[in-house]
Structure formats: C-alpha cells, structure tokens
Amino acid sequence: MEQRECCSELRLRVTELETVLEVGRQITATLDSERIMDGVIDACKGAVKAEAGTLWILEEDAYLVPLAVRGPKADRLKGLRLKRGEGLAGQVCESQEPVFIEDVTSDERWASRFDDATGFVTRSMMVVPLFTDDRAIGSLQLINKLDGSLFDESDLRISMALAAVSAKTIVNSRNYTQQRRFLDTLLKLMASLLDARDQYTLGHSERVSRHAVLIAQGLGLGLDEQDVIERAALLHDIGKVSIPEDVLTADPLDAKAWEQIKKHPDLGADLLLQLEPKSMVRQLWAGALYHHERFDGNGYPVGLNGTDIPLVARIIAVADAFDNLVSQQRYGMSKGIEEALEEIEQCSGTYFDPGIVDVFVGAVRARRVSKA
Ligand SMILES: [Fe+2]
C-alpha cells in the first residue's frame, strides 16, 4: 500500500473511532431507556449518513419490536412485531451475524414487501446484531445512504462498533426503567390500599402526588427531585395504616379519635425509616413527618415554621389541603376548584408557604384556562 493510501486509511479509521467514542459518551449521559435508544438510532443514522434506521429489540425472548425508528416511512413500522428469526432483522438477531446488502437490486436475500406496501425505495442496507455476553438483544437496521451512494465496508465497521458499545447500555437502561416502573406501580398500589380503608379518601394519595408534581414542576425542580416528591406525596399518609379503621372513619370525629389520627405523621415517619437505602428515605420521611406543619408554626407534630419545614412537606401540605377541599365529602365540605383555590390563597402565610401557594394556584388556573 502506498504511503498516501496508508494515510487516508489511517485517517478513516481515526474518524470511525472518534465517532464511536462520541456516541458512547452521548448514550451513557442518561439512564432513560427511550432516550438512549433514540440516541443510538440517531447517532448510527448520522454516523453512516443513512436515510432510515430501525432499532429492533427482542422482547420476552420471543419477538422483535421496532423501539426506535427513523426515516420517511417510520410510522408504518409502529405496532409491528417480528417473530424470532423472521425477516432480516430477526435473522440477524438469531445468528448474531451482520447482513450487508450493498445493492438490494442484485441480492436475492432482499424481499421488497415493505417497499411494495409503502412506496419506499430501498437501495442499500445493513443489519447488525445487538448482543451482550453472547445473548441476543436485537438488531440495528440502516437503510440507504443519503447521498444516493451505497454503504461500504467502513459504514459496516462503524455500525458494528456502535452496536457493540450500545448493547450493554440499552440492556442496563431497560432494566433500570423496568425496575423504576415496578417500584412506581408498587408505591401506587400501596397508597391505593391505604386510601381504600376509608371510602372518603379513595384515590387521595395519588391525586396529592399529581398536585405535588405540578408544584415541583412550577418551582423548576429537576426530574429526579420531581420523582422524589411524587413518591413522598404518595406515602405522606402511610402512618394511617397503623390507625384502626373505626377511628379513621369516625363521624363525627370526637376528641379521642382526633388525638389518635394526629399521630399518623410520627407513625408514618417511623415506618419509612425501615426502608433502605437511607439516602433515598430522607425526603419520604420528611414528607410523612412534617406535612401537617403550618408555615406560621401552629401545626403538628413538631411546630416547625417557615422554611424550617422541609420543602417536600410544604409542597405536600398545599397539595393535600387542595385535594381535601375538592374531593372529600365526609362532612359535606367538598368545594369547587376555584372556591378551593381561593381558600388555599386565604391560608397563604398562615398554613402554607406563600411561594408554593402562588405556584400551585397559578398552575391550576393556567391549566383550566388552557382546557377551556
Ligand atoms: Fe396526613
């Protein structure tokens, strides 16, 4: 090989390596599996300048689904499933060997059913396997060079390398997302069982969590903080699980029953202290313990005031009160939304943090206007 050819080959390999490193850096910047898969397909499509691309992922070890699709006919793939081994994507996933069809017009492996059905014209295609520790997880399909030329060996090398660096991240992020989903649904189930002990509180904790997230968003808190506040709000009344049902539902509520109910913040905080890891419990604990504190210091169980009350508890206090005003009918006190908002505003600075009241009332009114 002449020196000039050698240099240009070297430059090509360096560019390929830089592309792979950059994509690797981008896709490890988040844990969200959808964003990672979108990032992988965009990066791969961009790296080989493809017209279209599909990330096929093996689900339940039985079929492939297109979880990230790009290209002119992308929406035609929505809802499609391939059995293991079906189509080129399925074959590549099974064999863990890439398929490189430089020119589909001269290759018998190419079946043009999709093109016939959509009007899309496939000229050149690569399908590379996604696998980790010899376990197939899917395949990555790239179609047509944007400039009208055909894919070459360098494009295949880049695609293979990108698939290799992406596979483990995709698996880890999907596991993480599924674990989170399981945890979130478990917390909602726990909260709904708690609320169901009293017919007047059905759905209360989940509604409070939605209001609390609205406030967290309005305060400009990050996604992680919003998640913690959502969970803390779901569990804010968890201490009521230790209070007998006849006390919870006492009507009218006498002084003795009230004294017992007032213990639920302490009881809930004690329960939550059993969770691990402690770093994830602190906010849940604070939400349960302090959500009946008042901004003017006249709340319970401690009598904290102002910003000594943790933010999570100040948020839940407003969300909780609003849902009690709007949804609870035990004492015939259910109010309309505007009436409830006005009552919350009247308690700004005494019961509630004025900044949080402003954010919540503003957000609810804005939503009502946009829906009208
Ligand atoms: Fe409470």
For position 19, which CATH number holds?
3.30.450.40
Q: Is residue 191 part of a domain?
A: no
Q: What is the pLDDT of residues 71-101, one digit of tens each?
A: 888 888 788 888 888 888 889 999 999 998 8
Predicted confidence at residue 80, as pLDDT, reads: 84
Give the DSSP letter of residue 348.
B
Q: Is residue 132 part of a domain?
A: yes
Select from 142, 175, 208 the last residue of a domain: 175
Separation between Cα atoms, residue 115 and residue 121, nearest integer Å? 6
Contact by Cβ (8 Å): 301, 289: yes
49 CA distance to ligand 1 middle (Å): 57
Arithmetic mean of pLDDT over the chain: 89
**Percent of the chain surpassing pLDDT 90:** 56
Predicted confidence at residue 2, as pLDDT, reads: 67
Range of the domain at 229: 196-371
- Specify the 3-state DSSP secondary structure of 143: strand
Q: What's the number of domains the chain is made of?
A: 2
**Band (186; pLDDT cuts 50, 70, 90):** very high
324 CA distance to ligand 1 middle (Å): 10
The pair phi, psi for residue 263, each rounded to 5°, is: -85, -10
Predicted confidence at residue 307, as pLDDT, reads: 97
264 CA distance to ligand 1 middle (Å): 7
Residues 27 and 165 placed together within one structural domain of the fold? yes
Q: What is the pLDDT of residues 228-252, one digit of tens each?
A: 999 999 999 999 999 999 998 888 8
Burial class (CB in 10 A: 0-12, 13-18, 19+), 263: middle
Residues 214 and 109 placed together within one structural domain of the fold? no
All residues with CB under 5 Å from ion ligand 1: 237
On the question of pLDDT at 199 being above 90, the answer is no
The pair phi, psi for residue 134, each rounded to 5°, is: 70, 10
On the question of pLDDT at 217 being above 60, the answer is yes
What is the DSSP secondary-structure string of 145-158?
ETTS----HHHHHH
The more confidently predicted of residues 41 and 10 is: 41
Q: What is the mean pLDDT of residues 361-371?
A: 89
Q: In CATH, what number is assigned to the domain containing residue 302?
A: 1.10.3210.10
334 CA distance to ligand 1 middle (Å): 17
On the question of pLDDT at 47 being above 90, the answer is no
237 CA distance to ligand 1 middle (Å): 5
233 CA distance to ligand 1 middle (Å): 10
Q: What beta strand segments (E) does 78-182 contain?
A: 82-83, 99-101, 125-132, 135-145
Q: What is the mean pLDDT of residues 284-305?
A: 98
Residue 372: other Cβ atoms inside 10 A: 5
265 CA distance to ligand 1 middle (Å): 7
Residues 108 and 14 placed together within one structural domain of the fold? yes
Contact by Cβ (8 Å): 123, 117: no
The sign of the torsion formed by the CA atoms of 180, 184, 185, 190 equals positive
Predicted confidence at residue 1, as pLDDT, reads: 56
Residues 67 and 213 placed together within one structural domain of the fold? no
Predicted confidence at residue 238, as pLDDT, reads: 96
Residues 160 and 219 placed together within one structural domain of the fold? no
